[in-house]
Structure 1
Amino acid sequence: MSTVLLVHAKGGPPLGHVLSRTAARADVHLLALSALPPAVAALAEELCASVETPSGAERADLGSLIVSRARAVGADAVLTFSEYAVVAVAEACETLGLAGPGGAARLARDKRMMRHTWRQRGLPQPEFRPVATRADLREAVAALPFPMLLKAAWSAGSTAHQIIGSPQEADAAWRCSREVMAESAQLGFAELHVAEADAHFVVEQIVTGTTEQWFDEPGWGDYVSVEGVVAGGVFHPVCVSGRMPTVEPFTERASITPAPLPASLQDRVVALAREAVDALGLRDCGTHTEIKLGADGRMWLIETAARFGGAMTVPQIEEVFGLDLVGMLVDHLLGRTVDWPEGALGPDQARGAAGSLVVLAVDGDGHAWPDRRVWDFTAVREAVALSEGGALSVVPESSLPDGSAVPVYEPAGGANTMAALCLLSAADAPTVLRDFTALVDALPRVLPPAVAAEPTDTNAAPAPAPATPAPAVAVVPSTAAACPRLRTAARTEEVPA
C-alpha cells in the first residue's frame, strides 16, 4: 500500500474528516505541528501508522524536518490542508521529487506577490500597496482612497484586518495589526516556514460590492468562492460556494454550498477563477479562490489559496455533490487516475445544500450581543426551529465545549474569536441561508447567560481544581488596551484550535 505523510497544523478542514479519507487510500504517517484536537486524538492513533509531534527546536527548520520525516517513513506523497504549512510542504515536495503545489505556492500565500502577479496579467482586483513599515503605510494612505483595508500578507481567517477611514487612524491600525499577528503566532495561527512573515502587510482599496443582479433573493454576501483543484498544472473547478454577509471588518460568518447563481453568471465567476489560478502557476494542489461581486457584472479577485477551503467546505462538497476531494487529491498525488468534474457543478447537480456557520458574539447586523452568553449546542438545537428536513450539528473539534463562555468578538481578531462551528443541511441553498439567518438572530436569546464572577475574597482558601480537564484550546490575550478599534474589554476566553 502507498504511504502518505500528512502534515497537520491549525486551520483547514476538520482533521477527523481528512484522516479518515486519507487512511482509506494509503498508510498515513501524521506529522503534528499543532496539538491534535482532543475529539480526534484517539482516531489519529487508530488510523495512523505513526504520529510524530516534533519539538520546538525541531520545527526551527521546518522544510528539513518534513523532508527527513518523509524519507524516514518512505512517503510516496506529502500533503497538508493547513494554510500555514502550505509553503513548507511545497518546498519539501520539490526536494523529494514528489507531486505538490510547486514553487508557486508562495504566490498563493503572500498577498503582496499574489496581487503583483495578477496586476501583471491585467486581472481585476482592488488597488493595493505592499507595506512593511509605518512609513510605507503612511505612503499607502496618501495614495489610496478612503476607506481602505490593512491586512497581514500571510494571515488567514481575517486575522489582523483593520479598516482605515482617515489618515489619523493609520498609526493605531498599524500598531494593532502587528500586535494581533504577534498574538496569533503564539496560538499557532501564523505562517510556520517563512521568516518574518508576521511583519509583511498590504493595504487595499475597499471596492463596493453588491448582490443585485447576482442572486434572486436578499441576504447573501457580496462575494463567492470557487472551489477547485490543480492537477498536473491544469485547473479543475469543482463548484461555487456562497456566503452570508461578513462581520466588520471582513470576518466570514458562513459558507453555503452550492451558491444559487444562474448558470451564465457561475460560468463568468469560474472563468475569472481559472485566470487567477493559471496566473499563479500552481501544479498539484487544492484551490480556493474568493471573488467580490459588483454592479453591472463587475468582479474583483480577493485571493487564491493553494489548498482547499477551510472550515467545512470540503465536507459540504462531499455531502452535496458526493465528491471526496481529500481522497481524490491523495489518489492524484500518488499517481492514480482521477475523474475530475468536467466543469464546475451547480445547483442542478446538487443533492440539497449544506452550510457551515461560525458562531460569533454579534447579531445579524454585526452589532455585539448586549450581554455575555455561554455556548450550549443542546439549548440551540432544542430552541431554534429549522425548515422542514433541515439538520443542524456541531463540529466538536472546531468548537468550545458546552458551558464555555462565548468570546467577545474582536474585529481585529477575526475568526480567532469564534465560539463554535455548526453544520446545516437543507433542501436547497436559500433554505440554508434562511435557517442560518434565523439561527444568528436567535443565539443571543436562547444561549444561557454567563454568570458574573463573584467578588474575590483574598482570605479564602484556594478553589479546588476542576473535576474535568480543561479543553485543549488556546487562551488569547487581549489587545483591547493597545488597539483602539477593538470594541471589547480584556478577555481570557478560550478559542478553538
Structure 2
Amino acid sequence: MSKVLLVHAKGGPPLGHVLSRAAAKAQVHLLALSALPPAVAGDAHRLCASVVTPTDADRGDLVSLIVARAKAVGADAVLTFSEYAVVAVAEACEALGLPGAGGAAALARDKRLMRRTWHEHGLPQPEFRPVATEADLHEAATRLPFPLLLKAAWSAGSTAHQIIRSPHEVSGAWRRSREVMAESAQLGYAELHVAEADADFVVEQIVTGTAAEWFDDPGWGDYVSVEGVVARGVFHPVCVSGRMPTVEPFTERAGITPAQLSPAAQDRIVALARDSVDALGLRDCGIHTEIKLGADGRMWLIETAARFGGAMTVPQIEEVFDLDLIGMLVDHLLGRPVAWPERALTPAQARGAAGSLVVLAVDGAGAAWQDRRVWDFPAVADRVPLSRGSRLSVVAESSVADGSTVPVYDPAAGANTMAALCLLSAADPRTVLRDFETLVDALPRILPAAQLEEVSR
C-alpha cells in the first residue's frame, strides 16, 4: 500500500476531514508540528499508521526533520494543508525527489515576493512596498496614497493587518503589527520554516472594491476566491467561492461555495487567477487565489496560496460538487490518474450550496457586541430562524467549547479572536448568504450573557 507523510500544523481544512480522505487513499503517517485538536486526536491515532510529535530540539531544521521522517516511513508522497508549513514541505519534497509545490513555493507564501513577481508580469494588484523597519514604513507612506494596509508578509487569516489613514498613524501601526505577530507565534499561527519571518512586512494601497456590479443580490463581499490545483505545472480551476463583507480591517467572516456569478464574470475571474498562478511557477499543489472586485470590471490580485483554501472550503466543495479534493491530490502525488474538472464548475452544476461562518464578537455592521457572551451552539441551533431546508453544524475542532466566553474581537489579531466555525448547507448561495446574515444578527441576542467570573477567566 502506498504511504503518505502528512505534515500537520495550524490552519488549513479541518484535520478530521483531511485524515479520513487521505487514509482512504494511502497509509498515512502523521508528523504533528502543532498539537492535535482534542476533537480529532482519537481519530488521528485510529486512522494513521503512526503519529509523531517532534521535540523542540528536532524542529531546528524543519526540512531535514521532514525528510528524515519521510525516509523512515518509506513515504511515497509528502504533503501539508497548512500555510505555515508549505515552504518547508516543498523544500523537503525537492530533496526527496517527490512531487510538490516546487522551488517557487516561497513566491506563494511571502507576500513581498508574490507581489514583485506579479508586478514583473504586469498583473493587476494594489500598489505596494516591502517594509522591514519602521523607517521603511515611513518612507513608503510618503510614496503611496492613503489609506494604506500594512500586512505581515508571512501571515495568514488577516493576522497583523493594520489600516493606516494618515502619517501620524504609521508608528502605532508598526508597533501593533509587530506585537500581534509575536502573540500569534505563541499561539502557533506563524511561519514554521523561515527564520525571523515575523519581521517581514508589506504595505499596500487600499483599492476601492464593489460587489454591486458583479452580483445581482446585495450582501456579497467585494472579493472572491478561486479554488483549484496545479498538476505538473498546469493550473486546473475547480470553482469560485464568494464572501460576505470583511470585518475591519479585512478579517474574513464567511466563505460561500459557489459564488453566485454570471458565467461571463466567472470566466474573467478564473482567467486572472490562471495568470497569477502561471506567473508564480508552481508545480504540484492545491491553489487558493483571492481576487478583489471593482467597478467597471476592474480586478486586483490579493494573494495566491500553494494550498487549498482554509476553514471549510474543501468540505464545501465536496458537498456541493461531489469532489474529494484531498483524495484527488493524494492520488495525483502518488502518480495515479486524476480527472480534474475541464473548467471551473459553475452554480448551474452545483448541488445546492454550502458556506462556513467564522463567529466573531461583532454585529453585521462590524461593530463590537455591547456585552460579553458565552458560546452555546445548542442554543444557536435551536433558536436561530434559518430558511426551510437549511442545515447548520459546528466544526468542533475549530471552535471553543460550549460554555466558553466568546473572545473580544481584536481588529489587529483577525481570525485569532474567533470563537467558532459553523458550516451551513442550503438550497442555493443566496439562501446561505441570507441565513448567515440572520445568524450574525441573532448571535448577540441568543447566546447567554457571560458572568463576571467567566469573563475574568
TM-score by length of 2: 0.99
Matched, 1:98 2:98: yes
1:439 aligned partner, one-letter code: L
1:7-156 correspondence runs (5 A) = 7-156=7-156
- Counterpart in the other structure of 1:171: 171
- Counterpart in the other structure of 2:182: 182
Call closer, same or farther: CA 1:122–1:492 in 2, change over 3 Å. farther
1:187 aligned partner, one-letter code: L
User: Alignment partner of 1:143: what SS?
Assistant: coil
C-alpha offsets along residues 423-469 of structure 1, whole Å, 9 cap, x if unaligned?
00000000000000000000000000000129xxxxxxxxxxxxxxx
1:221-260 correspondence runs (5 A) = 221-260=221-260
Give distance in 2, aligned partners of 1:54 and 1:186. Answer: 17
1:355 aligned partner, one-letter code: G
Give distance in 2, aligned partners of 1:89 and 1:319. Answer: 28
2:134 aligned partner, one-letter code: R
Shift of 1:311: 0.4
Give distance in 2, aligned partners of 1:212 and 1:116. Answer: 30
C-alpha offsets along residues 272-301 of structure 1, whole Å, 9 cap, x if unaligned?
000000000000000000000000000000
Shift of 1:60: 1.1
1:292 aligned partner, one-letter code: K
Gap regions ≥5 residues in structure 2: none
Give distance in 1, aligned partners of 2:213 and 2:248. Answer: 24
C-alpha offsets along residues 42-74 of structure 1, whole Å, 9 cap, x if unaligned?
000100000000001101110000000000000
Shift of 1:102: 0.1
Give distance in 1, aligned partners of 2:170 and 2:312. Answer: 35
Give distance in 2, aligned partners of 1:380 and 1:141. Answer: 45
Shift of 1:335: 0.2
- Counterpart in the other structure of 1:391: 391
C-alpha offsets along residues 161-201 of structure 1, whole Å, 9 cap, x if unaligned?
00001100000100000010011111110000001100000
- Counterpart in the other structure of 1:206: 206
Shift of 1:129: 0.2
- Counterpart in the other structure of 2:453: 453
1:184 aligned partner, one-letter code: S
1:368 aligned partner, one-letter code: A
Give distance in 1, aligned partners of 2:92 and 2:63. Answer: 6
Matched, 1:348 2:345: no
- Counterpart in the other structure of 1:219: 219
Gap regions ≥5 residues in structure 1: 455-490
Give distance in 2, aligned partners of 1:220 and 1:357. Answer: 14
1:218 aligned partner, one-letter code: P
Shift of 1:400: 0.4
User: Alignment partner of 2:56: what SS?
Assistant: coil
Shift of 1:259: 0.1
User: Alignment partner of 1:416: what SS?
Assistant: helix
User: Alignment partner of 2:452: what SS?
Assistant: coil
Give distance in 2, aligned partners of 1:311 and 1:119. Answer: 29
Give distance in 2, aligned partners of 1:212 and 1:452. Answer: 43
Give distance in 2, aligned partners of 1:143 and 1:181. Answer: 25
- Counterpart in the other structure of 1:482: none
1:278 aligned partner, one-letter code: D
1:301-312 correspondence runs (5 A) = 301-312=301-312
TM-score by length of 1: 0.91
Give distance in 2, aligned partners of 1:15 and 1:152. Answer: 25
1:426-437 correspondence runs (5 A) = 426-437=426-437
Instruction: Calculate the aligned-residue CA RMSD, in Å.
Output: 0.8
Give distance in 1, aligned partners of 2:184 and 2:439. Answer: 29
- Counterpart in the other structure of 2:414: 414
Matched, 1:379 2:389: no
- Counterpart in the other structure of 1:334: 334
Shift of 1:212: 1.6
Give distance in 1, aligned partners of 2:114 and 2:196. Answer: 18
1:205 aligned partner, one-letter code: Q
2:367 aligned partner, one-letter code: H
- Counterpart in the other structure of 1:442: 442
Shift of 1:492: 7.7
Give distance in 2, aligned partners of 1:231 and 1:402. Answer: 41
User: Alignment partner of 1:453: what SS?
Assistant: helix
C-alpha offsets along residues 344-388 of structure 1, whole Å, 9 cap, x if unaligned?
001000000000000000000000000000000000011101101
C-alpha offsets along residues 286-322 of structure 1, whole Å, 9 cap, x if unaligned?
0000000000000000000000000000000000000
User: Alignment partner of 1:220: what SS?
Assistant: coil
1:384 aligned partner, one-letter code: V
1:401 aligned partner, one-letter code: A
User: Alignment partner of 2:287: what SS?
Assistant: strand
C-alpha offsets along residues 470-493 of structure 1, whole Å, 9 cap, x if unaligned?
xxxxxxxxxxxxxxxxxxxxx887
After the TM superposition, which parts of structure 1 deviate over 6 Å for at least 4 consecutive aligned residues?
none
- Counterpart in the other structure of 1:280: 280
Shift of 1:247: 0.1
- Counterpart in the other structure of 1:2: 2
Give distance in 2, aligned partners of 1:222 and 1:197. Answer: 29
1:265 aligned partner, one-letter code: A
Give distance in 2, aligned partners of 1:312 and 1:103. Answer: 28
- Counterpart in the other structure of 1:405: 405
- Counterpart in the other structure of 1:267: 267
